[in-house]
Amino acid sequence: MRIVMAGASGFLGTRLAERLSQSGHEIVRLVRRPTDRAGEATWDPAQGRLDAEVLAGAGAVINLAGANINGRRWTAAYKRVLRSSRIDTTDTIARTIGRLPADERPRTLLQASGAGWYGDTGEQEVTEEAPAGNTFLADLCRVWEAAARPAEDAGTRVVLLRTAPVVGPDSGLLKPLLPLFKLGGGAKLGGGRQWMAWISGADWLAASEFLLEREDLAGPVNMVSPRPVRNDEFTRDLAGAVRRPALLAVPGPVLDVVLGEMAGELQRSQRVLPGVLSGAGFAWTYPGMAEAIAVSVRPEAAMTS
């Protein structure tokens, strides 16, 4: 199958492109620079420019493009970057799909979104049927997903990947924390009782390929482990994996000073469950946090698990 990918150079995109290539698929990467390389095509999502011929006849399009949520403090300017980097790319792809003749449209669009859709769920377990919350990330996910609607209206199967923070080597969740934890500076955030939705990198990749192949599945899909954990449990598991104590706690007011609005998101509770994946029979390799962290910190552990 020929698969066109946006965001193929990111943490998840790089690994997914490699996995799909190994499965025998032809990957065409969308890039924002001039190129004459095989396997690449130039586009300009900020201007809404994408040659429809790039998508014509493709079996699927995968859009993982978007600026890093954890990349920096959420100033008003960076919020605009977070929004435009998602909306412009999604809108450009979806509208281009919609312009294609029916017999040339990609059958499937795997479209990135986030588990942040649900806002703060407190102690309540939520699945894909739950409405959007009322936080910045929830609103961002709402407009992000809405931007894919032209592709759905045109008859393409659209799967919305509501991805939770990923646990994996060099992932955005673990990479900044590992140096601190290795020095014994690990700490729970706020009270530590808030629920964390998460997914292992290995399971995210396997679930993405699963959804690519399951043409009976469409709409929002929670890319999360079936076992959400509280923040203090995550802290203990990460500290245990690097064999260091984690006796500290970072009070909420300190987080507010250091991180600004992002601090509120880190202290919100998200008890999100993978209703669609569970119902479809997807099997997780690392459903538990401790094992997922162990194989991320010490990959040799996967050989004995």
Which CATH number characterizes residue 86's domain? Answer: 3.40.50.720
Note whether residue 50 is domain-resident: yes
Note whether residue 248 is domain-resident: no
Note whether residue 256 is domain-resident: no
Note whether residue 62 is domain-resident: yes
pLDDT at 30 over 80: yes
Q: What is the DSSP string of 183-231?
A: TT--EEETTS-SEE--EEHHHHHHHHHHHHH-TT--EEEEES-SS-EEH
Q: Please tell me which residue, 142 or 236, carries the higher pLDDT value.
A: 142
Q: Please tell me which residue, 147 or 171, carries the higher pLDDT value.
A: 147
Q: What residues make up the domain containing 133?
A: 2-173+197-224+272-282
Note whether residue 77 is domain-resident: yes
Question: What span, in angstroms and rounded, lies between the C-alpha atoms of 96 and 43?
Answer: 11
Query: Is 8 within 8 Å of 30 (Cβ atoms)?
Result: yes
pLDDT cut 70: percent of the chain above it: 91
Residue 266 pLDDT grade (very low, low, confident, very high; cuts 50, 70, 90):
low
Note whether residue 289 is domain-resident: no
For 112-161, the pLDDT digits (tens) are 999 999 999 999 999 999 999 999 999 999 999 999 999 999 999 999 99
Question: What span, in angstroms and rounded, lies between the C-alpha atoms of 162 and 267?
Answer: 19
Note whether residue 241 is domain-resident: no
Q: What is the pLDDT of residue 270?
A: 94
Note whether residue 6 is domain-resident: yes
- Determine the average pLDDT of the residues in 166-188: 84
Tell me what the pLDDT averaged over the chain comes to.
90
**47 Cβ neighbours under 8 A, 6+ residues apart:** none
Report the domain count for the chain: 1
**228 Cβ neighbours under 8 A, 6+ residues apart:** 195, 196, 197, 198, 270, 271, 272, 273
- Determine the average pLDDT of the residues in 203-220: 98
Q: Please tell me which residue, 183 or 130, carries the higher pLDDT value.
A: 130
